[in-house]
Amino acid sequence: MVILGSYSLITQKFDLLPYSLFLVGILTLVIGLIELKKDRKSFWGYINIGASAFVIFVVIYTSQFS
């Protein structure tokens, strides 16, 4: 993720930005699942899973129109 972001900033080519955003969505999903495993009624676990679902939806939706 850091490598993709750094490459985009240095070269000013933003073609790889959807891949970086997709990785952020997967990372947030994993963090949410870890939070839910720690505590069965974790509020932040559900928030992370919802945020990751939104990010992955946006990546898929915007990649169709590029």
Residue pLDDT tens, the chain, 66 long: 788 778 888 998 878 788 888 999 999 999 999 999 987 778 889 999 999 999 999 998 988 775
Give ∠ CA 63-44-37 in degrees, rounded to 5: 100
Predicted confidence at residue 40, as pLDDT, reads 73
**Total structural domains within the chain:** 1
The pLDDT assigned to 46 comes to 92
Residues spanned by the domain of 56? 2-64
Burial of 16 (0-12, 13-18, 19+ CB in 10 A): middle
Helix or strand or coil: residue 66?
coil
Q: What letter would DSSP give residue 12? A: -
